[in-house]
Amino acid sequence: MDELFAYLLQFGSLNQRQLDLIASKATPLALGKDAYFLEAGHVARRVGFLLEGVLRICYYDNKGDEITRNFIDEHHLTTNLRGLEDGLASSEYVQAVTECRLLVFAKRDWDELAHTMVGWSEMVHKMTAKHLMEKLARISPMMAQDATTRYREFLNNYPRLANRIPLSYLASFLGVTQSSLSRIRKNIR
């Protein structure tokens, strides 16, 4: 729980009573490898804070290929990207890449904290914005680089992730085929 508090306190100040209130809404959840936290076609009814493990966000393109759009590592929030406009079904899956432990909030509870705690809603938007900015800052430069450079960048950005992620997921995230990524790895050694 402390990890969650530390995360939240980056975005505003909360007193002990508020922290307790937040804690009272959180439920621990363990996910096995490959289990889904959210599924495409459903409206996200919960918000998760990842304590341990790796999640990925993926979808299927129009050729039916599975594309990994993003990885989520420890001590970050995850929910439907469309979390701001409520009630929209996600087009993406959130899936456990490894065994995961999370703290989960019912979306209803999560949103209702805004009624009780002044500034909660703003904090949530700050978190979202910061999170998105980081993602964007990482993805944007990738477009203009070749596959080897993209892989190197990934190693820099997520040093603790590379060896926990199957090659195929990483390849689709980087926008190369699995075989190409395998060759890239070889050349780098």
Residues that bind DNA (CB under 7 A): 146-148, 166-168, 175-186
Residue 43 interacting with a copy of itself (CB under 8 A):
no
**Residue (32 or 87) nearer to DNA, CB:** 32
Which residue from 1, 23, 43, 137 is in contact with a copy of itself, where contact means CB under 8 A? 137
**Residue (31 or 123) nearer to a copy of itself, CB:** 123
- Radius of gyration for the chain, computed over Cα atoms and rounded to the nearest angstrom: 18
CA dist list (Å): 87 to 41, 44, 47, 83, 124: 11, 8, 14, 8, 17
Which residue from 27, 75, 141, 179 is in contact with a copy of itself, where contact means CB under 8 A? 141
DSSP string, 127-186: HHHHHHHHHHHHHGGGGGS-HHHHHHHHHHH-TTTGGGS-HHHHHHHHTS-HHHHHHHHH
Tokens representing residue 102 in the block: 């999370």
- The least distance separating DNA from the CB of residue 69, rounded to whole angstroms, comes to 16
Residue 107 interacting with a copy of itself (CB under 8 A):
no
Tell me the sheet residues that pair with 100. Answer: 31
Which residue from 1, 30, 43, 133 is in contact with a copy of itself, where contact means CB under 8 A? 133
Residue 2 interacting with a copy of itself (CB under 8 A):
no
Tokens representing residue 96 in the block: 């456990």
Token pair 């129009």 is found at 62
Write out the residues near a copy of itself by the rule CB under 8 A. 61, 65, 67, 69-70, 81-82, 84, 121-122, 125-126, 128-130, 132-133, 135-137, 139-145, 172-175
